[in-house]
Amino acid sequence: MPADDRSATPAVPTKGVGGDPRESNDDVEEAPGKIWFRDLDEAVIEADRCVQCASCVAACPSDSIGIDAEEKRPTLVRMCTGCSRCWDFCPRSGLRYERLIQLAGEERGLEEPETYAARATGGPAEAGQDGGVVTGLLAALLEAGEIDGAVVARESDEQPLRADAFLATSREDLLEAGGSIYTQTMGLGQIEDLLADADLGAEPDLALVGTPCTIQGATALGRYGHEPADPIALTVALMCTRSFEYDRLRSRIESLGVDPERIESLDVGGGVLTAVDDAGELLLETDVESFDAAGLRGCDECADFVGGGADVSVGSVGTDEGYTTVVVRTNNGRSAWNRAEDALEATEIERPEPLERLAEWNRRRAESVLPRGFDPDAEVGITYEDHRRAYDGTDREPQPLNPARVHQYEEWC
């Protein structure tokens, strides 16, 4: 902002918008920039901007943030100590993800990312969508002992179309989890629990497969050497323009006269959403835009379609049917990729035009929606006050906190 514009700067917002009783008296003035989970709740979750990446859950040093089983949203399960980490690692608030991606790229990126058209050889091609590359890659790495497990998405047993985080430790596990699911798993926030239930020995190496925002959180945690990222040895981003919110997705499907229980698989490609039943019969074929309202609104603020923070990104755009576009971006990603050579049929290609176009469209959408400036050269951290200055008065401004998420927990000191 030019210096002479300073008079136009909105007044410094006061802390919180939800009338939390802890902020209702002025016996102690709070420190500038102080963040509590309630601030995240108001600015992100209640403002309907949460993208369910679970970065906050992973970042919390006292494990105070859990995942609400019903809503699949971060929620306090213990006292919040006010350390601000949840905010610092949330790509919708304190983490300037475009800066993070740039820094990560400078520090660990290949000089030139490598792009491939690939598909798996053998079984995985059937199980996974678009060539089964992720399944093939991970299975090969598992079998080579390069990784001990992979955190992936698997369709929930009880709730079709809902994705659960799953720790795959064998080829069979991976085949079982193959295929795309269009809701978030919050797997980044469950690594500790998943490991506790598995028997992978001390200091296991895991691959984390997730949406670009999930990978942003994981990469950021790793960059600062934070413990939750320690087991993550490889990050694989699934290219993504938007994730669905489970309940809205169901409602939307129902409103089109389709029983969600009958859907065996849901697919999005070329702007078209299709659903088929277990006999392969088409239940639904519609413009994916008609599902806009079922999407996570926070996704609109993301310009990272390709998952620029990941070691390897995969997506279906720009390659032929049955193939996947793969971008290998780091040394770490390249060695994993090479290690899985035998399991994959891959041709290095130029960056496909449709991929570039979609990425460009995605960036423009984000820039038009983002109330704050999109600036890969600005500081990685965004303060509470700066967030409020940019978001207040927009339809993405903080909303009063949800007491069930912020006030009700069972453990305290």
Partner 1 sequence: MSDPTVVSPSWLEAHCESVTVVDVRSRRDYEDLGHVPGAVNVPAAEFRDPSRVAAGKLPSADDFAALLSEAGIDPDDSIVAVCDEQGVNAARFLLTAAVYGHDGRLSLLDGGLAAWLEDGGDLTDETPDPTPTSYEAELTDDAPLVDRQAVEAAVEGDAIVVDTRTPAEYDQSHIPGAVQVGWEDLLDESGRLRPEDELEELLAAKGIRPEERIVLYCNTARRLSHTYVVLGDLGYEDVAFYEGSLTDWVRSEAAEWNPVELEARVRSYADAGGFEAMIEELGEDVTNHLKLIGLYHQKQEGYFMLRTRAPGGILTAEQASVIGEVADEFARAPEEYGGPDQNPVFGDGYLDLTTRQDVQMHWIRIRDVDEIWSRYEAVGLETMQACGNSVRNVVGCPAAGIDPNETVDVRPVVERVSERFLGDPHYANLPRKFKISVTGCHENCARAQIQDLAFTPAIRDGRDGFAVRAGGGLSDGPRVASDLELFVEPDRVEELVEAVADLYVDYGSYLDTAVNRLRFLVEELGVERFREELASYADFEFETPDEVLTTDYRDDHVGVHEQTDGRSSVGLNVPTGRMGGDEFRELARLADELGGGELRLTPNQNLLVPHLADERLESFLEASVVDRYGPDPGPFSRGIVTCTGREFCNYGIVETKNRAIRWARDLDEWSEAVGIADEREAVRVHLSGCSASCAQPQIADVGLRGEVYRDDYESGRAADVGLGGDLGNDEFIDWLVGKVPIDDVPAVVRAVTLAYETDRDEGETFAEWTRRRSDVELRNLVSEAAGTKPAAIGTEAS
Give residues in contact with partner 1 (CB under 8 A): 12, 20-25, 27-34, 36, 48, 61-63, 76, 78-85, 88, 99, 103, 224-226, 247-248, 251-252, 254-255, 257, 292-294, 297, 379-381, 383, 385-386, 402-404, 406-413
Residues 6+ apart with CB under 8 A from 133: 118, 119, 120, 124, 314, 324, 326, 344
In the bound state with partner 1, the residue whose beta carbon lies nearer, of 70 and 350, is 70
Q: Closest separation between CB of residue 285 and partner 1, Å?
A: 19
Give the integer Cα–Cα distance in Å for 324 and 241: 16
Q: Closest separation between CB of residue 11 and partner 1, Å?
A: 10
For the record, the structure tokens of 211 come out as 């949406």
Q: Which contacts qualify for 88-91: CB closer than 8 Å, 24 or more apart?
A: 88/35, 88/59, 88/381, 89/55, 89/56, 89/58, 89/59, 89/217, 89/220, 89/221, 90/40, 90/44, 90/53, 90/55, 90/56, 90/217, 91/51, 91/53, 91/55, 91/213, 91/216, 91/217, 91/302
Residues 6+ apart with CB under 8 A from 230: 203
In the bound state with partner 1, the residue whose beta carbon lies nearer, of 287 and 379, is 379
Q: Closest separation between CB of residue 66 and partner 1, Å?
A: 14
In the bound state with partner 1, the residue whose beta carbon lies nearer, of 330 and 402, is 402
Q: Dmax of the chain from CA atoms?
A: 68
For 106, other C-beta atoms within 10 Å of its C-beta total 8
Q: Closest separation between CB of residue 292 and partner 1, Å?
A: 8
In the bound state with partner 1, the residue whose beta carbon lies nearer, of 62 and 394, is 62
In the bound state with partner 1, the residue whose beta carbon lies nearer, of 248 and 351, is 248
Q: Closest separation between CB of residue 221 and partner 1, Å?
A: 10
For the record, the structure tokens of 77 come out as 């399960």
Q: Closest separation between CB of residue 264 and partner 1, Å?
A: 19
CB of 155 within 8 A of CB of 181? Answer: yes
Q: Closest separation between CB of residue 312 and partner 1, Å?
A: 25
In the bound state with partner 1, the residue whose beta carbon lies nearer, of 109 and 132, is 109
In the bound state with partner 1, the residue whose beta carbon lies nearer, of 83 and 284, is 83
The DSSP symbol for 316 reads: S
C-alpha closest to that of 216 among 155, 128, 303: 303
In the bound state with partner 1, the residue whose beta carbon lies nearer, of 287 and 353, is 287
E strand or H helix that includes residue 223 = helix 212-223
Q: Closest separation between CB of residue 380 and partner 1, Å?
A: 5
Residues 6+ apart with CB under 8 A from 224: none
